[in-house]
């Protein structure tokens, strides 16, 4: 086995360990826990004044997109009007992307999964349903692909 294969095996093992130990999106964690991790940082006290909780997002290269989407949907869990607006925007985006050269069936597949996520949240309207959707790699990965 050459060095490239060994490196790839090691990277695969690291990714597997991370996936087993870190959810894609965590449950709420009190911001006070940050004091232990960042004891020397004075900004934590300011964060604690503004925010009672945080969520950890797996650092897999897609964290920004996942955090953005989760935050947006969590903020609008009970805002049916905004969820309907987002659903319509998602639905309409397919034709625009096809005009730009994206493959119809690929865009449609991603769009359909994102709409399913929106519909799940619209029907359930609760935090647990949102977390379950985002902690499902198939759902979460499609949502990240959509945002990218």
Alpha-carbon radius of gyration of the chain = 19
Is residue 54 within 8 A of residue 86, CB to CB? The reply is no
Give the pLDDT confidence of 50-104 residue by residue, as tens digits.
999 999 998 888 999 999 999 999 999 999 999 999 999 999 999 999 999 999 9
Mean pLDDT of 114-122: 93
The percentage of the chain sitting over the pLDDT mark of 90, rounded to a whole number, equals 53
Pair 52, 70 in one domain: no
What residue numbers bound the domain in which 126 lies? 61-148
Pair 96, 50 in one domain: no
pTM reported for the whole predicted model: 0.82
Pair 123, 81 in one domain: yes
């Amino acid at each position: 086995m050459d060095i490239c294969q060994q490196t790839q095996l090691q990277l695969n093992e690291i990714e597997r360990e991370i996936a087993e130990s870190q959810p894609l999106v965590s449950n709420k964690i009190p911001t006070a826990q940050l004091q232990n991790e960042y004891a020397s940082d004075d900004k934590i006290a300011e964060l604690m004044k503004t925010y009672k909780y945080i969520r950890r997002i797996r650092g897999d290269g897609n964290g920004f997109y996942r955090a953005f989407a989760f935050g947006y949907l969590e903020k609008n869990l009970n805002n049916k009007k905004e969820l309907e607006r987002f659903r319509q925007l998602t639905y309409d985006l397919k034709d625009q992307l096809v005009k730009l050269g994206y493959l119809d069936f690929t865009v449609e597949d991603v769009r359909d999964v994102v709409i399913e996520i929106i519909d799940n949240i619209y029907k359930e309207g609760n935090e647990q349903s949102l977390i379950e959707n985002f902690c499902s790699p198939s759902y979460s990965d499609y949502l990240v692909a959509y945002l990218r």
